[in-house]
C-alpha cells in the first residue's frame, strides 16, 4: 500500500509558512522482492510538479520489480539549495527504510524529468551540504548521493542552452555568473561520478538536447559509465511517452539498465 512520509522531523529547514506549498514529503510505492529503490522527481521548471511524471512513472517502475518513491519537493519562490536539500534528505530516508522494505540500501537511484532532471543531476554530481540535524537523527548517518541516475530530457546547464524559466526559478532572475557556473552540472562532474542513463529528443523545443549531450561529454571525460538515447522527434514533457512509438522505449530500456546494476 502506498503511503506518504514527511522528510524532515519538525519544521523543515528554510521553511517559510507564508509560502503556500506542502510540507516536503515523498509517497512510497512498495514492490515485493525489489532489489533497489528509485526516487522519482517530476519536472515543472522548479515552479510546479507535473503529475504525469510522478505516480505513473513509479507504477511502471513497480511493474519492473523496482521499489519507487515520488518526491514532493519545494519549488519557487524557494531557491537553491532548498529543493536539493529535500531530494538529498529523501535519498537518506530511502536508505534508512531499506530494511523495512527489503531492498538493498546500497542500490538507491534517482530519476528526474526536465527541471526534476536538473534536481536529480545536481544531487548526483554537485557537492551540496545538508543542514545540520540533531545528533540522534538516524537518517543523517546515511549517504545522500544516489547510486545511479536516470535523467529524462534534463535541464543540465545554467549557461547558454539552459531553460530560462528553470534557471530563474532556481537561482532568481538576477543570478550571477558565479552562481550559473556553480549550478551548471556539466561543469561539476568529477572522477568516480554516479553512472547515468540519459534520454532526450533532438528537437525538444524547451530544453535543448545539448543539455544531455554536455553531461554525456563530461561523464565520458571522467570515465563514468553512462547510457545515452536520443530520439529524433518528440515534444518536451513526454513523460512515459506512451503515445510515441519510438520514444516510449525509454522506460523498458531504463529498467533494463537499472536491472543490470542489480535493481
Question: Distance of CA 220 to CAs 34, 45, 66, Å?
Answer: 30, 27, 27
- Kind and range of the H or E run holding 170: helix 164-171
Q: Which long-range contacts (CB under 8 A, 24 or more apart) does 186-191 make?
A: 186/156, 186/157, 186/214, 186/215, 186/217, 186/218, 187/218, 188/125, 188/126, 188/127, 189/125, 189/215, 189/218, 189/219, 189/221, 189/222, 189/224, 190/125, 190/222, 191/222, 191/223, 191/224
Domain ranges across the chain: 3-260
Residue that the C-alpha cell 519536472 belongs to:
43
Contact 87, 174 (CB under 8 A): no
Rg (CA), the chain: 17
Contact 197, 149 (CB under 8 A): yes
- Angle, CA 97 vertex, CA 114 and CA 12 arms, to 5°: 60
154-173 pLDDT, tens digit each = 999 999 999 999 999 999 99
Which among 37, 79, 258, 55 is positioned nearest to 168, based on CA atoms? 79
240, with CB counted inside 10 A (0-12, 13-18, 19+), is: middle
Fold of the domain spanning 3-260: Rossmann fold (3.40.50)
Contact 72, 142 (CB under 8 A): no
Q: List the pLDDT tens digit at each of the 263 positions of the chain.
A: 799 999 999 999 999 999 999 999 999 999 999 999 999 999 999 999 999 999 999 999 999 999 999 999 999 999 999 999 999 999 999 999 999 999 999 999 999 999 999 999 999 999 999 999 998 999 999 999 999 999 999 999 999 999 999 999 999 999 999 999 999 999 999 999 999 999 999 999 999 999 999 999 999 999 999 999 999 999 999 999 999 999 999 999 999 999 999 99
pTM over 0.95: yes
Give the Cα separation of 70 and 257 in Å (integer): 20
197-246 pLDDT, tens digit each = 999 999 999 999 999 999 999 999 999 999 999 999 999 999 999 999 99
Name the pairing type of β-strands 3-6 and 149-152.
unpaired
Contact 263, 253 (CB under 8 A): no
Amino acid at each position: 500500500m502506498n503511503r506518504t512520509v514527511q522528510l524532515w522531523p519538525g519544521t523543515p529547514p528554510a521553511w517559510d509558512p507564508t509560502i503556500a506549498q506542502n510540507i516536503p514529503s515523498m509517497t512510497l510505492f512498495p514492490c515485493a522482492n525489489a532489489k533497489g529503490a528509485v526516487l522519482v522527481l517530476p519536472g515543472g521548471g522548479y515552479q510546479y510538479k507535473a503529475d504525469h511524471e510522478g505516480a505513473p512513472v513509479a507504477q511502471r517502475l513497480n511493474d519492473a520489480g523496482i521499489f519507487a518513491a515520488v518526491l514532493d519537493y519545494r519549488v519557487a519562490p524557494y531557491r537553491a539549495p532548498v529543493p536539493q536539500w529535500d531530494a538529498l534528505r529523501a535519498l537518506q530516508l530511502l536508505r534508512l527504510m531499506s530494511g523495512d522494505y527489503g531492498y538493498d540500501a546500497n542500490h538507491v537511484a534517482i530519476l528526474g524529468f526536465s527541471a526534476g532532471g536538473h534536481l536529480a543531476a545536481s544531487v548526483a554530481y554537485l557537492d551540496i551540504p545538508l543542514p545540520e540535524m540533531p545528533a540522534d537523527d538516524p537518517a543523517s548517518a546515511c549517504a545522500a548521493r544516489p547510486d545511479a541516475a536516470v535523467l529524462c530530457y534534463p535541464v543540465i546547464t545554467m549557461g547558454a542552452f539552459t531553460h530560462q524559466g528553470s534557471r530563474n526559478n532556481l537561482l532568481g532572475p538576477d543570478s550571477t555568473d558565479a552562481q550559473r557556473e556553480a549550478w551548471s552540472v556539466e561543469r561539476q562532474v568529477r572522477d568516480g561520478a554516479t553512472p547515468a542513463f540519459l534520454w532526450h529528443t533532438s528537437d525538444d523545443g524547451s530544453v535543448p538536447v545539448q543539455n544531455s549531450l554536455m553531461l554525456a561529454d563530461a561523464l565520458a571525460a571522467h570515465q563514468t559509465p553512462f547510457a545515452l538515447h536520443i530520439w529524433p522527434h518528440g515534444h518536451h514533457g513526454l513523460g512515459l511517452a506512451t503515445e510515441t512509438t519510438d520514444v516510449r522505449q525509454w522506460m523498458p530500456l531504463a529498467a533494463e539498465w537499472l536491472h543490470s546494476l542489480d535493481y
